[in-house]
Structure 1
Amino acid sequence: MIALRVIARNDAVKRRHPLGKTLRGSHQLLLNDIKPHPDANTRSGVLSEGHWPNATVPYELDPDFTLEQQVMILANFYTIESNTCVKFVERSNETDYVFVLRGVTGECNSYVGKIGGAQTLTLSVNLTEDEWSCFKNQIILHETLHALGFEHEQNRYDRDDYITLNWDNIPCDSRWNFEKEDFNSTTTFDLPYDYVSVMHYSNNVGGIDPDVPVLIPKPNYGFQIGNEGLGVLDVLRINRMYNCSSPYS
């Protein structure tokens, strides 16, 4: 059950927060938003040890969030809960849990899947009108799905059948964000490629020239890709990953 109470910040958790920079796209998603797994060879989006047991995610909220920010985070947790069998529960004494950290340096990022122990999901707030904020439903959902175990949709091993990457418009130091996943360590859950997943980058995200597309659908109908909320296939993927029974499946 989702609760509005927050507890005192764990300083050890604070020191472990993910690092990364944000690059805005037309749907305001970002690059470098995945914290590397401690075991670089583990793809926790697929392996069972990266999933949350009993589809239950213990969490703590940073007490530095305002009440309005807390409510927004929990509302997005509820969006997932109301469409799947996944539950977010306020942590009591669980050793494996998500600490939602209030960032102040423009970071919006998460580990992928359960890594063990306290793991951070960082949501930065805008301190001035010119600074970047993670407080958009799309970004909170996106980072929460990373924590549940999902990679980016455009990194699927079969993505070249569905999109063309304009590598010339991607900075060299950002190209790793677009590497395909390994066929042997990931799954598509037997679901079609999802252009409108909340886990899909938008057309122009991170481009050297922001007016030139980075991701081009095949065939190129010129439609906007990405989503500002959970799509139908996002819900199906969550339910298949966590073996949710009817009515969620």
Structure 2
Amino acid sequence: MRNEIRRNIRIAGLLFENDIALILSQMKLLTSTKQYRKKRKIVADPTYHWKSSLIAYRFGDSDTNWQDYIRKTLHYWEQETCLRFEENKPDDDYLIFIIGSGCYSNVGRLGGSQTISIGYGCETLGIISHELGHALGFWHEQERSDRDNHVRINLQNVISGSEGNFEKRNATQIIDLGVPYDLGSVMHYSTNTFAKRFIDFTVDPIDTKYRSTVGNRVAPAFTDFKQINLLYCFDRCQMTNLKCRHGGYPDPNNCSICKCPEGLGGHQCSDLQNSCE
């Protein structure tokens, strides 16, 4: 997360929460007194959901190595979800990846073309996934109404003027699809996001042994993919009798097997996996 802030420092004044490009209608909702608390982990308004699980995309820059990083990330998402990304597919709505001045994205489907900036230094699986998550409808994890059960927000350590980036949202307005809060979500702030000093904790897990987990930009967590699958792939396995346990769910790419949380496996996610597997 620190890397994203550093990459976006020149354009920080143009972005919301450091990496979100808002459109006018979203800006009005967030600045309206009555509507300000209606921002969600997953954007609730179906207008901002993609119309199908097949999403078109294009490249706005020709660097082939940079393109390959993005293609590999999209392929990774295809393996973990029912989403399919088709390059140069003719479509009214599509993503266009550019080498911008940092790493940023809009939230949800806007209609027409919309930009995801993956500037140099942002081309990793974790950061590309974070910005893609925004484009698919994710806000930041720590804005959930239940966050105080999991993290402390130390506003005294936050850079003056950046306190609004740590707003908590109303439970009646948040869509989490029943998925538990995850400190390891690729959409979560790190411990020193917007900190006055690098050593200051702005986000501190209640259970301090998870400090190194918060701000994961290695890869999406199980819960990130689960929410995407519940949102866009909910009808894929309606006919299956498979009962997955411990938070697992039928794999939308193969409804005869379960997708299991890390550390669990077996036909119904009932078996402990060896950490070396």
* TM-score category (smaller protein): 0.7 to 0.9
What are the Cα deviations for residues 197-224 of structure 1, in whole angstroms up to 9, with x where unaligned?
A: 1111111122111112111111333531
Partner of 1:178 in structure 2? 166
- Structure number with the bigger relative contact order (C-alpha 8 A, sep ≥ 6) is 1
Partner of 2:232 in structure 1? 242
Q: Could you say if the C-alpha distance between residues 237 and 102 of structure 1 is closer, same or farther in structure 2, counting changes exceeding 3 Å? A: same
CA distance in 1, matches of 2:199, 2:210: 13
**What's the CA shift for 1:77?**
0.6
The yes-or-no answer on 1:137 pairing with 2:125 is yes
Indicate the SS of the match to 1:54.
coil
**After superposition, where does 1:1-16 map in structure 2 within 5 Å?**
none
Which protein shows a greater Rg? 2
The number of residue pairs the alignment matches comes to 215
Partner of 1:233 in structure 2? 223
Would the aligned equivalents of 2:4 and 2:122 in 1 still touch at CA under 8 Å? no
Would the aligned equivalents of 2:94 and 2:114 in 1 still touch at CA under 8 Å? yes
In the alignment, residue 226 of structure 1 is paired with which amino acid? G
Percent identical among aligned pairs is: 31
Partner of 2:109 in structure 1? 114
Q: Could you say if the C-alpha distance between residues 210 and 142 of structure 1 is closer, same or farther in structure 2, counting changes exceeding 3 Å? A: same
Partner of 1:88 in structure 2? 85
CA distance in 1, matches of 2:75, 2:137: 18
Indicate the SS of the match to 1:204.
coil
In the alignment, residue 228 of structure 2 is paired with which amino acid? I
Q: Could you say if the C-alpha distance between residues 185 and 57 of structure 1 is closer, same or farther in structure 2, counting changes exceeding 3 Å? A: farther
What are the Cα deviations for residues 62-108 of structure 1, in whole angstroms up to 9, with x where unaligned?
A: 133x11111100100111110000111123331211111111x3x21
CA distance in 1, matches of 2:165, 2:116: 18
CA distance in 2, matches of 1:92, 1:239: 22
**What's the CA shift for 1:39?**
1.1
What are the Cα deviations for residues 7-60 of structure 1, in whole angstroms up to 9, with x where unaligned?
A: xxxxxxxxxxxxxx95249xxxx9510111331238572222211112122111
CA distance in 1, matches of 2:153, 2:223: 22
TM-score, with length taken from structure 2: 0.72
CA distance in 2, matches of 1:37, 1:157: 24
The yes-or-no answer on 1:23 pairing with 2:5 is yes
CA distance in 1, matches of 2:230, 2:91: 25
Partner of 1:48 in structure 2? 46
Would the aligned equivalents of 2:105 and 2:115 in 1 still touch at CA under 8 Å? yes
Indicate the SS of the match to 1:240.
helix
What are the Cα deviations for residues 150-186 of structure 1, in whole angstroms up to 9, with x where unaligned?
A: 1110111221221101101111222222112343332
The yes-or-no answer on 1:32 pairing with 2:18 is yes
CA distance in 2, matches of 1:213, 1:39: 33
**After superposition, where does 1:144-155 map in structure 2 within 5 Å?**
144-155=132-143
CA distance in 1, matches of 2:4, 2:183: 21
CA distance in 2, matches of 1:219, 1:166: 15
Would the aligned equivalents of 2:93 and 2:112 in 1 still touch at CA under 8 Å? yes
Partner of 1:8 in structure 2? none
CA distance in 1, matches of 2:164, 2:54: 31
**After superposition, where does 1:208-219 map in structure 2 within 5 Å?**
208-219=196-207
Would the aligned equivalents of 1:24 and 1:205 in 2 still touch at CA under 8 Å? no
CA distance in 2, matches of 1:153, 1:233: 11
C-alpha RMSD of the superposition:
2.2
